[in-house]
């Protein structure tokens, strides 16, 4: 593994539409056409009713910080210059959670329950990462 480069998501057939959506700056949720529930991470079947009949729904992009941390230790060289940096789990309005970084916020001010919305970071020609900023 090249630790001088930040890792990119590993894109699979099940998650490709999600990442394609990010590239268009749209946050997509896997949606079950049988039971109407949404889920993340995107899977090949609905984890609630096991149906194969899945589609995609655009998320509002708003949510709340449900858990967060600030990393102070260098484990992976590519993140050295970012130290200390935050990461959080975001509970989207629709229910599923995503892990991402928070931007535009002082690390000292992050709290559980903080209202955030998605913003997109085109980190390479092929990959766009969703991150979140305070509302």
Judged by the rule CB under 8 A, the positions of this chain that interact with other proteins are 1-3, 6-12, 15, 39-41, 47, 66-73, 75-76, 79, 82, 84-85, 87-89, 91, 96-97, 99-101, 111-113, 123, 129
CB of 100 to other proteins, least distance (A): 6
* Shortest Å distance, C-beta 81 to other proteins: 11
d(CA 39, CA 2): 32
Distance of alpha carbon 18 from its chain centroid, rounded? 10
Nearest-approach distance from CB 36 to other proteins, in angstroms: 17
* Between 11 and 20, CB nearer to other proteins: 11
End-to-end CA distance of the chain: 36
Q: Identify which of residues 26 and 127 has a Cβ nearer to other proteins in the complex.
A: 127
Cβ contacts of residue 7 below 8 Å, gap of 6+?
Answer: 1, 76, 78
Q: Name the residue nearer to other proteins (CB basis): 58 or 80.
A: 80
User: How far apart (Å, rounded) are the C-alpha atoms in residues 78 and 15?
Assistant: 25
Q: Two tokens at 69?
A: 């941390």
């Amino acid at each position: 593994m090249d630790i001088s480069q930040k890792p990119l998501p590993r894109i699979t057939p099940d998650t490709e539409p999600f990442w394609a959506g990010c590239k268009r700056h749209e946050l997509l949720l896997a949606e079950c056409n049988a039971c109407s529930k949404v889920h993340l991470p995107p899977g090949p079947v609905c984890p609630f009713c096991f149906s194969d009949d899945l589609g995609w729904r655009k998320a509002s992009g708003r949510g709340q910080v449900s858990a967060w941390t600030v990393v102070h230790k260098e484990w992976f060289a590519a993140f050295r210059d970012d130290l200390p940096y935050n990461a959080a789990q975001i509970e989207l309005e629709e229910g599923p959670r995503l892990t991402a970084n928070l931007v535009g916020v002082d690390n000292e001010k992050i709290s559980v329950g903080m209202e955030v919305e998605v913003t997109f970071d085109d980190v390479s020609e092929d990959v766009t990462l969703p991150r979140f900023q305070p509302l």
